[in-house]
A and B are shown apart, each in its own frame.
Chain A
Amino acid sequence: MKKADIVSAAVTLAMDVDAETRQKIEAFCKVRGAARVVYTIDKSILGGIVIQIGDDIYDGSLLSKIDTVRQSI
């Protein structure tokens, strides 16, 4: 679904990252229609990154990977 509205991307990280990585993240979000990026630091995702833009979630967190492993064994 194409989003005409201006959306903000919610990015969750386990720890703060350097400016270069931030730039990469912001570029990624911009391509997908996000006008601005809001960062949150949340240690509970253990590692990796979760990006939410509108209804789409890009879940690259360590927590979800471990969850998948736990469910399949």
Chain B
Amino acid sequence: MVNVKEIGKDLIKKINDVRPPADDRACGKIISSGDGIIHISGLHGVKYNELLEIRGGYRALALNLEHDSVGAVLFSGEDKVGCGDFVYSTGETAHMRVGEELLGRIVDPLGQPLDGLAELTSTETRPVEFPAPAIMDRGKVNTPLQTGILAIDSMIPIGRGQRELIIGDRQTGKTAIAVDTILNQKDENVICIYVSIGQKASSLAKIVNTLRTAGALEYTSIVCSTADDPVPMQYLAPYSGCALAEYFMYRGKDVLIVYDDLSKHAVAYRTMSLLLNRPAGREAYPGDVFYLHSRLLERAAKLSEEKGGGSITAIPIVETLAGDISAYIPTNVISITDGQIYLESELFNSGVRPAVNVGLSVSRVGGSAQRASIRNISGQLRVNLAQYRELAIFMQFGSDLDAETQKMLSRGAKMTDTLKQRQYLNYSVRDMLVLLTVSQSDLVDKIPEKKIVAFNEGLLDYIRANHASLYGEIDIDKKLSEELKNKILSVAEEYINCSVGIEQSAPAAASGA
């Protein structure tokens, strides 16, 4: 039975614990309100980016400090706040709740839980806007961040502390790459933060489900602002996520943060700016839209050993329209980041998934962080693929090809097929070494063209089942020895010979060709 006295006691205790705000806070009056924007007279001492409180418990962010009024954007209570209401300054800028307990949780950009689980008890906070680490505090990017995706880890390697952009049209698998990368950090001791900016709640729910099922939520935190959240929340989300990432980085941990996506962030900021009557520039974005993203991405860093050696690897996502990477936001973000992974819908629709355009994708710093074994074996890959593509285009004009050219074309097609990878299927470094070794050897000529994907998956299973010791012999930080290479190739040959499926389909494929 409910004990009324107990409830009363609790209530009295709570009321006693209430600390009223100081009586002499600076105060202003709302003189106009609409579209989530309020203008306030008074409040002369207010700071830029200061959090304001409105009677009724609503909050706003001071963004326009003018001579005789202050412009602010409302976080909540758009339809409850009206002219004449008192607005109090809080004396502090927006803060994000931080702490270990945020792992596995979904929070809004101010650190309030949204997942209906236990209340957060952490009282530690970090300012949402924070200066990036200074030059001397930074170390060299020298540890790889394995995405588990062969095409990326072999040709566009990402290092811890790097900023690598994922860019492409809608429906090209941008988020899929980011989610796969998070899933691959399971045993890598990397904390992941997924920031959703203006995404559909349904797609976010899907991602959360995927992470939960894979057990990845334990080391992942989700900072969420969905498409129906007030614009200031969407604007704040990446900075909040970054504040949380910094908390871990300054404790010496490695963090991966995904901003999904920055084009919606720019749109949210444009909405705010236009409503605040700021002058519009190209594509109606305000003049400081570059600074909007540069100050965010500058906070990703690899700290020096003296500073604890932690890192934030940032993976921003930008959506292009009809493949136009020369639009305003894409060019801005491309120039800020240390490289980009360019996804193409044409590739995606022709079955190349992940749809990475290897020619247009680069990683400007990750090369030095790549594992020695992978770097050694994938050095030729990019060149070979480029040659194949050139040849493939040329081939469209003529049908009579000599045997040599035909062989090159078939090998190129097989190489491309090797880089295809199912979603949620991550390769370990050793898997990649095996696949790259086999796909660049003469052995591929024995495998029918359409069977490469199945062959690769089968081969890896075969090795795990029958030659587990082979993986133990591979030292991922050293170049593969010739001896080991031959060993891998002989195992692969063994698999080709014993794999019934391939032998059966081989004649069929040959007659078809």
Assess the A57–B15 pair: CB atoms within 8 A. no
Assess the B24–A58 pair: CB atoms within 8 A. yes
Question: Does any Cβ of A come within 8 Å of B205's Cβ?
Answer: no
Assess the B27–A72 pair: CB atoms within 8 A. no
> What B residues does A68 contact at CB under 8 A?
18, 20-21
Stretch from B40-48, B251-259, B348-356 at the A interface: B40-48
Question: Does any Cβ of A come within 8 Å of B86's Cβ?
Answer: yes
> Chain B interface residue count: which class?
20 to 34
CB closest chain-B residue, reference A65: B20
> What A residues does B17 contact at CB under 8 A?
72
Assess the B86–A72 pair: CB atoms within 8 A. no
Assess the B18–A55 pair: CB atoms within 8 A. no
| Shortest Cβ gap from B467 to chain A (Å) | 64
Q: How far is the CA of A55 from the CA of B43 in the complex (A)?
A: 6
> What A residues does B27 contact at CB under 8 A?
52, 55-57, 59
| Shortest Cβ gap from A45 to chain B (Å) | 12
> What B residues does A59 contact at CB under 8 A?
23, 25, 27, 86
Assess the A72–B44 pair: CB atoms within 8 A. no
| Shortest Cβ gap from B155 to chain A (Å) | 55
Assess the B28–A72 pair: CB atoms within 8 A. no
Question: Does any Cβ of A come within 8 Å of B275's Cβ?
Answer: no
Given the known inter-chain contacts A68-B18, A69-B15, please indicate yes or no for A55 contacting B23, CB distance below 8 A. Answer: no
Q: Count the A-B residue pairs with Cβ separation under 8 angstroms: how many?
A: 45
Q: Is the interface of B mostly helix, strand, loop or mixed?
A: loop
The interface bits of chain A over 19-58 (1 if a CB of B lies within 8 angstroms of the residue's CB, else 0) are 0000000000000000000000000000000001011111
Question: Does any Cβ of A come within 8 Å of B453's Cβ?
Answer: no
Q: How far is the CA of A59 from the CA of B24 in the complex (A)?
A: 7
Question: Does any Cβ of A come within 8 Å of B55's Cβ?
Answer: yes
Q: How far is the CA of A54 from the CA of B23 in the complex (A)?
A: 15
CB closest chain-B residue, reference A52: B27
Question: Does any Cβ of B come within 8 Å of A73's Cβ?
Answer: yes
Question: Does any Cβ of A come within 8 Å of B11's Cβ?
Answer: yes
Q: How far is the CA of A64 from the CA of B57 in the complex (A)?
A: 11
CB closest chain-A residue, reference B88: A57
Q: Name the residue in A57, A60, A69 with the highest tally of chain B Cβ atoms < 10 Å from its Cβ.
A: A57
The interface bits of chain B over 6-44 (1 if a CB of A lies within 8 angstroms of the residue's CB, else 0) are 000001001101101101111110000000000000111
Question: Does any Cβ of B come within 8 Å of A4's Cβ?
Answer: no
CB closest chain-B residue, reference A61: B23
Question: Does any Cβ of B come within 8 Å of A67's Cβ?
Answer: yes
Assess the A56–B24 pair: CB atoms within 8 A. yes
Q: Name the residue in A1, A54, A59, A67 with the highest tally of chain B Cβ atoms < 10 Å from its Cβ.
A: A59
Assess the B23–A56 pair: CB atoms within 8 A. no
Assess the A56–B26 pair: CB atoms within 8 A. yes
> What B residues does A64 contact at CB under 8 A?
20, 55
Q: How far is the CA of A58 from the CA of B55 in the complex (A)?
A: 14
17 A–B pairs (Cβ distance < 8 Å), ordered by A: A52-B27, A54-B42, A55-B28, A55-B45, A56-B24, A56-B26, A57-B88, A58-B23, A59-B25, A59-B27, A64-B55, A65-B20, A67-B56, A68-B20, A69-B15, A73-B15, A73-B18
- Given A54-B42, A64-B55, A68-B20, output 18 extra A-B contacts at Cβ < 8 Å: A52-B27, A55-B27, A55-B28, A55-B42, A55-B43, A56-B26, A56-B27, A57-B25, A57-B88, A59-B23, A59-B25, A60-B23, A65-B20, A69-B15, A72-B14, A72-B17, A73-B14, A73-B18
Measured CB to CB, the residues of B under 8 A from A are 11, 14-15, 17-18, 20-21, 23-28, 42-45, 55-57, 86, 88
